[in-house]
A and B are shown apart, each in its own frame.
Chain A
Amino acid sequence: MGVRVLVGTAKGGFWVTSGNRRDWEVAGPFLKGWKVTAGLRLPDGRFLAAVASDVYGPAIHMYRNYVHNSTWEQLPGGPEYPEGGPSRFRQIWTLAENRGTLYAGVQDAGLFRSTDGGNSWDPLTGLNEHATREAWMPGAGGLCCHAMLFSPDNPERMWCGISAVGVFRTDDGGASWVPKNRGVYWAHEDEEFKEIGYCVHGLAQDPDDPEVIYRQDHSGMYRSRDGAERWERNESGLDSAFGFPIVLDRATRFLFAVPQESDQYRVPVGGALKVMRSTDGGDSWHSASAGLPAAHAFGTVLRGAMSVDDLEPGGVYMGTTSGTLHVSTDLGESWTNLPVVLPRILHVSAWVD
């Protein structure tokens, strides 16, 4: 089985592909000059890529992989905040699909969804105009909604993560949203709205029990066993609990995270690019970093720049802010550093091809 990896960088997208996960081909850049901030493969085989430019703003492009000489094509519509309103649509941080509906988590923080394949998008105003909205404060990366989770058991239940605001859950299909951050240490305390001010960085979910959610937060590593009602710290073995991505291999439920040296420095601890793996649902963490640069490595892995491919054994992929790209095809036992130096890597998604 082959693998296709979409690598989104600050200056365009790249395809990294392999038929055997040993020999890799790199193609690109496509959408040259644009930040490629999120990627998604749709059930019909099309790919979506979110782009953004500091000058020209954001958009979503579509690629038909199955069409010879296909090119990226900007979708006719996209998320849009009301003209004259307080929110600006600056960037898409995550694209997701659930039960035929597309979702986009955006900056300024909000959610939009499309039921026509991405041609038109509707705001989820229950979140975008939440009662606490006036107190939402941007984190260092901006005020962004960057994570979405779904319940395979309950179509009405979804979660989203907003940096420096927190995790929200809906139990009515997105009409209303409730902050769910009990047990998490706050990042900044609002005078009036005590239920927000929690800085979620990344979320991962157990595929068999969607109520089990793992959370890489600004304030540490957490786990919830009850759909985000309560969170508990699970940091045993981590030499730093600060980081951004957290991903899960579906077959083994192994977790992968990339610690950084505190929010003040945001670099690999001691200059060693290290992946931490948990094989016991977050109870303990151990280094799974053989082959990664062990010294003089100060590029970090951003929240969207790590992915798993769902093959067996699972492949893990990550890109750094220094443009280096790293692949493990044995669940982190060993790593290969691909011979590329790309622009700052913002996004990595891997799919079986």
Chain B
Amino acid sequence: MPSVTVTLPSLLEPATGGVREFSASGETLRGVFADLVEQEPRLKPHLFDESGDLRRHVLCFHNGTNTRWMDGWDGPVSDGDVVLFMQAVSGG
């Protein structure tokens, strides 16, 4: 199963005990997300809301592509892919 590097913003360090980088496995982005929150369940409420989608102001990039621009999370991932979470700069 492909292994993906997941990077988190510093603000989420208190949720993970200071860990900002995870290695998560999955055939799809959905699978990677599931593995990530299984490894660290405390991340789930910070990244996803009750709709099951990403929180409104959470951005996720898969190899530099905003996941909101993708047609869902069921496309394949490859070994060595990079998933980056960050917060949207939604206003100043």
Assembly CA distance A80 to B48 (angstroms):
12
Taking the nearest CB of chain A, how far is it from the CB of B29, in angstroms?
19
Q: How many residues of B contact A (CB 8 A)?
A: 19
Assembly CA distance A36 to B74 (angstroms):
37
Question: Please, which residues of chain A bring their CB within 8 A of the CB of B47?
Answer: 56
Assembly CA distance A87 to B51 (angstroms):
10
Instruction: Contact check, B50 vs A82: say whether CB atoms are below 8 A apart.
Output: yes
* A73 close to chain B: CB less than 8 A: yes
Instruction: Contact check, B45 vs A78: say whether CB atoms are below 8 A apart.
Output: yes
Given A56-B87, A74-B42 in contact, is the A84-B52 Cβ separation under 8 Å?
Answer: yes
Binds A, one of B9-17, B20-28, B63-71, B75-83: B9-17
Assembly CA distance A83 to B51 (angstroms):
6
A-B contact count (CB 8 A): 57
Instruction: Contact check, A55 vs B87: say whether CB atoms are below 8 A apart.
Output: yes
Type the 1/0 row for A49-70, where 1 means its CB is closer than 8 Å to any CB of B.
0010111111101000000000
Given A55-B87, A57-B46, A58-B45 in contact, is the A84-B15 Cβ separation under 8 Å?
Answer: no
Assembly CA distance A72 to B42 (angstroms):
14
Assembly CA distance A80 to B37 (angstroms):
15
Q: Which of A58, A59, A61, A84 contacts B50 (CB 8 A)?
A: A84
Instruction: Contact check, A72 vs B45: say whether CB atoms are below 8 A apart.
Output: no
Question: Please, which residues of chain B bring their CB within 8 A of the CB of A85?
Answer: 50
Assembly CA distance A87 to B49 (angstroms):
10
Assembly CA distance A143 to B29 (angstroms):
35
Assembly CA distance A61 to B17 (angstroms):
11
Q: Which of A34, A61, A76, A87 contacts B11 (CB 8 A)?
A: A34
* A81 close to chain B: CB less than 8 A: yes
Question: Please, which residues of chain B bring their CB within 8 A of the CB of A89?
Answer: 45, 50
Assembly CA distance A78 to B45 (angstroms):
9
Assembly CA distance A75 to B45 (angstroms):
12
Scan residues 15-73 of chain A and give those whose CB is less than 8 A from a CB of chain B.
Answer: 31, 33-34, 51, 53-59, 61, 72-73
Given A33-B11, A88-B50, A89-B50 in contact, is the A55-B88 Cβ separation under 8 Å?
Answer: yes
Indicate the member of B14, B55, B88 with the most A CB atoms within 10 Å: B14
Question: Please, which residues of chain B bring their CB within 8 A of the CB of A73?
Answer: 17
Instruction: Contact check, B87 vs A59: say whether CB atoms are below 8 A apart.
Output: no
Could you name 11 residue pairs across A and B whose Cβ atoms are closer than 8 Å?
Answer: A55-B58, A56-B87, A59-B15, A59-B45, A72-B14, A74-B15, A74-B42, A75-B42, A78-B45, A84-B51, A89-B50
5 further A-B pairs in the complex, CB-CB below 8 A; given A34-B11, A56-B12, A56-B55: A55-B88, A56-B15, A59-B15, A74-B42, A81-B50
